[in-house]
Amino acid sequence: MNRRKFLQIGASTVAFSVLHPSGYAADLADQKKRVGLIGSGWYGKSDLLRLVQVAPVEVVSLCDVDKNMLAGAAEIVATRQASKRKPRTYADYREMLKEKDLDIVLIGTPDHWHALTMIAAVEAGADVYVQKPISVDVIEGQAMLAAARKHDRVVQVGTQRRSTPHLIEARDNIVREGKLGNVGLVEIYSYYGMSKGPDPEDSQPPNYLDWDMWTGPAPMLPYNRMKHPRGWRSWMEYGNGTVGDLCIHMLDTARWMLDLGAPRSISSAGGIIMAKGRKGNIADTQTATFDFGELQVVWQHRRWGDSPDPKYPWGITFYGDKGTLKASIHYYDFTSRVGGKPMHGDALMEYEKYPEDRDEKELEKDVASAIRGHMRDFLGAIAKRSKPVADIEQGYISTSACILANISMKLGRSVAWDATKGRVIGDDEANRLLERAYRSPWVHPQV
């Protein structure tokens, strides 16, 4: 598929088939959806168990390169799904997808594995829920969007702020009701600190972890226990740092709440200011401006120092001429400049309906209702063969903007973005950075 065809597909309304490849009508009531998970760690399990809570699915397959993590996930799934069956387990996602017996595949791998697994899953006929950011480079994202459209698959991205009950409330009752007036600036930010203490030395990987497969298409670097299972985000080889991890959520929230498309230009500056000598190589300090024309969305993160507002160490602030809205995954606060009443909302906690949330290890409890909402939206889109609220195209737009921020920081100049062509305008050096090299024998997907 050439770039022009990709752009035509991305811009058009796609007509989804009414029938699943197996022949049965795509109706939630027809039969239990057969589900597989690739990446059975922290967020993979969180997503999967929320899906089990809201739909009569059957989890039949789990995949992970960590044998211990895989076995633990199989145990908890067997206790939580209605059938009490233990899923089949795989060390290689290709073997799992070769069965072609899955209706839904969830992807909770590290970022550098999202593209290959998502494309393989839609090629196998599954609808997909893939975690954010969708990719580590822009060309991967374009290939993922093209694959979803080519195979007529529903793909929901894990930007679940779009399904967060209190943020939907803020959007509907404040933003859409015009209580902000004209919005002139949006600030998005994170002031979460970095890990403290000396970094562990590199070592041999444990015998239960296939480090070569974990590394996959990324450069082969020494194993370090900081990297697995959750510290890999501190290395640019596996993702896009704090911008790729946390900025994407709040940038996507701004785009969703204000109905924004892609930014026209992106400029960013920062680097390693305070964390010199650490094992990781991501920027601990960074600002980025996403210029949408009449509106700028400005990101800032510091992984050191204090937060300007301790109540909102990670969040988004909308500044309007009639009021200000500040929001996070936990709550929102609105203040009026024209005599209106302050407004406050909290995350929806559903312990009475889902008591298992209380004791689930590592679950972000304030986010559980948002993930459930995102799964319901995903299932509804599957039933209707329509686009979900966080469709892969929306995930591509938000992801690529964050990647471009890092490209801008690396080059030391702004980049002008042509969203129609999927290229940086008049900057060959920047365009060369839209695609990362893959480690052999893995092959980079192309549009």
Tens of pLDDT, residues 200-210? 999 999 999 99
Give which of 131, 407, 435, 136 is closest to 263, Cα–Cα.
407
**What band does 362 get if pLDDT is binned at 50, 70 and 90?**
very high
Does the pLDDT at position 443 exceed 50?
A: yes
- Distance between alpha carbon 141 and the CA centroid of its chain, in Å? 12
Does the pLDDT at position 5 exceed 80?
A: no
Q: Is residue 71 domain-resident?
A: yes
**What band does 195 get if pLDDT is binned at 50, 70 and 90?**
confident
Q: How far apart are CA 114 and CA 107, in angstroms?
A: 7
Task: Note down the domain range covering 98.
Answer: 3-160+369-392
Are the C-beta atoms of 332 and 345 separated by less than 8 Å? yes
Neighbouring-strand partners of residue 127: 104
Tell me what pLDDT residue 256 has.
98
Is 30 or 239 the better-scoring residue by pLDDT? 239
Does the pLDDT at position 15 exceed 80?
A: no
Burial 206-240 (b: 16+ CB within 10 A, else e): eeebebeebbbbbeeeebbebbbbebbbbbbbbbb
Q: Is residue 86 domain-resident?
A: yes
Does the pLDDT at position 21 exceed 90?
A: no
Does the pLDDT at position 188 exceed 50?
A: yes
Tell me what pLDDT residue 74 has.
98
Q: Is residue 246 domain-resident?
A: no
> Mind giving me the DSSP string for 21-53?
TTSSB--TTTSPPEEEEE--SHHHHHHHHHHHH
Does the pLDDT at position 31 exceed 70?
A: no
Tell me what pLDDT residue 121 has.
98
How many domains in the chain? 1
Does the pLDDT at position 25 exceed 50?
A: no
For 43-58, write each residue's pLDDT tens digit: 999 999 999 999 999 9
Give which of 146, 167, 164, 139 is closest to 403, Cα–Cα.
139
Tell me what pLDDT residue 8 has.
47
The continuous run of DSSP H or E covering 269 comes out as strand 265-271
Tell me what pLDDT residue 291 has.
98
Assign residue 174 a region (left: φ > 0; alpha: ψ between -120 and 50; beta: otherwise): alpha
Half-sphere exposure (CA, 13 Å, Cβ side) for 155?
Answer: 33
- Classify 346 as helix, strand or coil: strand
Four-CA torsion 235, 437, 435, 242, nearest 10 degrees: 0
For the ranges 26-35, 36-45, 305-314, 387-396, the lowest mean pLDDT is seen at: 26-35
**Span 130-149, average pLDDT:** 98
Q: How far apart are CA 291 and CA 39, in angstroms?
A: 35
Check whether the bond before 56 is cis (ω within 30° of 0).
Answer: no
Does the pLDDT at position 393 exceed 60?
A: yes
Burial class from Cβ neighbours inside 10 Å (0-12, 13-18, 19+) for residue 180 reads: buried
Are the C-beta atoms of 55 and 31 separated by less than 8 Å? no
Q: Is residue 112 domain-resident?
A: yes
**Span 327-339, average pLDDT:** 98
Q: Is residue 105 domain-resident?
A: yes
Q: How far apart are CA 179 and CA 148, in angstroms?
A: 38
The per-residue pLDDT of the chain, averaged, comes to 93
Tell me what pLDDT residue 196 has.
84
Q: Is residue 70 domain-resident?
A: yes
Here the CATH number for the domain that contains residue 153 is 3.40.50.720
Are the C-beta atoms of 250 and 269 separated by less than 8 Å? no
Q: Is residue 20 domain-resident?
A: yes
pTM: 0.93
**What band does 12 get if pLDDT is binned at 50, 70 and 90?**
very low
Does the pLDDT at position 4 exceed 80?
A: no
Distances (CA, A) of 114 to 39, 220, 378: 10, 17, 18
For the ranges 15-19, 30-34, 194-198, 296-300, the lowest mean pLDDT is seen at: 15-19
Q: Is residue 108 domain-resident?
A: yes
Tell me what pLDDT residue 55 has.
97
The pLDDT > 70 percentage for the chain reads: 93
